[in-house]
Amino acid sequence: MVDDAVYAGQDQNGHALELEDPALEDQRQRWWVYQASDLCHIALETLLKFTLDTLGNHSTGLPLDQLVSECVDQIFDVAAKIPESWATLLQGTETAANPYEESSALSEFRFCTDIMRGAGRRIESTCSPEIAWKAVQLLAILHKRVREEEHPVEAELGGFTSEAFQTILTETRFLDEHADLPFREILGKIIEMKIVRRHLWVAARKFRSGDYTFLIESDEGRLRLREKDGPVFTNPRLGPAITFLKDIHLIGGQGLTDYGVEAVTAA
């Protein structure tokens, strides 16, 4: 997909995108920041789906601390090795040379493909602990890239200070703040603060404007499942944008059409 190649800076075979215009490379870097946030969103929504599925196994609901503990226990049961802390996980996390390489078990493309196939969005689908662990690993890969690679994350997202904005910057800052906690504790905080409480906060804000989107109900200290939802990419995406430009005859198989040239010139 075009989106993944722009994020990776190369195609699936490792051929680098040749962007001779510095302005185009700057724009590609902005896209990297956008898509990194989207991948972070996918990882967290997968953990939400896993949490909802876990809660769904208890018809009378669970107290929040028990729900968090059960989710963490399930993930611990399938992880090949439990790190001591989030910092330890980052130290042991390898990133793929090509994030878009389909055959690489370490690439974001591979993680995301496995997650989207395995998490599911329907009420009858179930997100396994193995998929939830992949979501945690994807989050670690993204965090490591933000730490170790030069991307304009702070420049592009630093101005969004409201609680309403949850981005790759806010989430990696949160992880940095708690990086040295025991891993069970930081994983529990992610599920409690970034999954359950975040969902309830967003749903409460929507409720004020008449939109009821609660997937979890809280009543007398117990949480109960109402509905399920799962990970989905946000918009805009480059693929649909390119299709749109083709539909209105601004680009074709060889690039800009005559209409496209006229539009660019007029702009």
> Average pLDDT for residues 234-245, to the nearest whole number?
71
Cis peptide before 99 (omega within 30 of 0): no
The confidence band for 3, taking pLDDT boundaries of 50, 70 and 90, is confident
CB-based contacts of 166: which residues, under 8 Å, 6+ apart?
41, 44, 194, 198
> pLDDT > 90: what percent of the chain?
76
Query: Nearest Cα to 193, choosing from 212, 173, 219, 210?
Result: 173
Of residues 50 and 164, the one with the higher pLDDT is: 50
Residue 239 clears pLDDT 70, i.e. is over it: no
Q: What mean pLDDT, rounded, does the chain reach?
A: 92
Residue 98 clears pLDDT 70, i.e. is over it: yes
* Helices 22-56 and 168-177, axial angle in degrees (round to 10): 60
95: left (phi over 0), alpha (psi -120 to 50) or beta: beta
The per-residue pLDDT for 10 is 95
The per-residue pLDDT for 240 is 66
